[in-house]
Amino acid sequence: MEHSLRARVRAGEPDAFGLLFDEHARAVYNLAFRLTGNWSAAEEAVSLTFLEAWRLRGRVEPAGGPLRPWLLGIAVNVTRNMSRAGRRHQAALSRLPPAAPVPDFADELASQIDDAAQLRRILAVLDTLRPGERDVLALCVWSELGYAAAAVALGVPVGTVRSRLSRARRKLRRLAAEGGDPAGLEREPRAGCEQEEGDRENAARPMQEGTR
């Protein structure tokens, strides 16, 4: 089945991409939301990830394992590019004259989310890591990819995944004394286990109605 889907995706069949979206859009959304802490940014990342997957469809090998690691690797790059663009936008806005104050409805909305404060703390911790370490941590811990699948997603050797994760965990241990291990970020991934059946039940937030 996966061999057939890979070949169909590579050939650019719309139905194959529809199936790919149905199966993996939630996993892409969950990863993007946890990396950005923003619902609308995560939804935009889902759209951009599948658009990029369509553009890169010719690189999919006809034979191989599940396509989830490939999609999550694209999602990591898309999210990183969005963050860079956001920082450039904020830098440009900071050079403009201050606008008249308006009510910040985003803060009111965020206050209604039980895990909003924890997510902000997690993102602050992730900001102390190098991009490569953050990517590996997100894929291996949050998306529960094994070492080999994360290596496929990022296009790096398995040894690089292991070393980056090891460095990230050492940094988290140093931070643990200040506030513990947020959301199990220091948890060891299940080496060699390639989870491809759905998503974790404790996902950060379900996608909005009408959005896959």
- What is the per-residue burial (b if ≥16 Cβ within 10 Å, else e) of 142-159? bbbbbbbbbbbbbebeee
pTM beyond 0.85: the answer is no
Cα gap 186→61, rounded to integer Å: 33
Model confidence over 133-189: pLDDT tens digits?
A: 888 988 888 888 899 999 989 999 999 999 999 888 888 888 766 655 544 555 555
Of residues 93 and 211, more confidently modeled:
93
Q: Retrieve residue 44's tokens.
A: 């935009």
Architecture of domain 2-90+115-184: Orthogonal Bundle (1.10)
For 130, left (φ over 0), alpha (ψ -120 to 50), or beta?
A: beta
- The model's pLDDT over 17-70, given as tens digits with 9 standing for 90+, comes to 999 999 999 999 999 998 888 888 899 999 999 999 999 999 998 888 889 999
- Digit-coded pLDDT (tens) for 163-179: 999 888 888 888 766 65
Query: How do the domains of the chain map onto residue ranges?
Result: 2-90+115-184
**Longest Cα pair distance anywhere in the chain, in angstroms?**
58
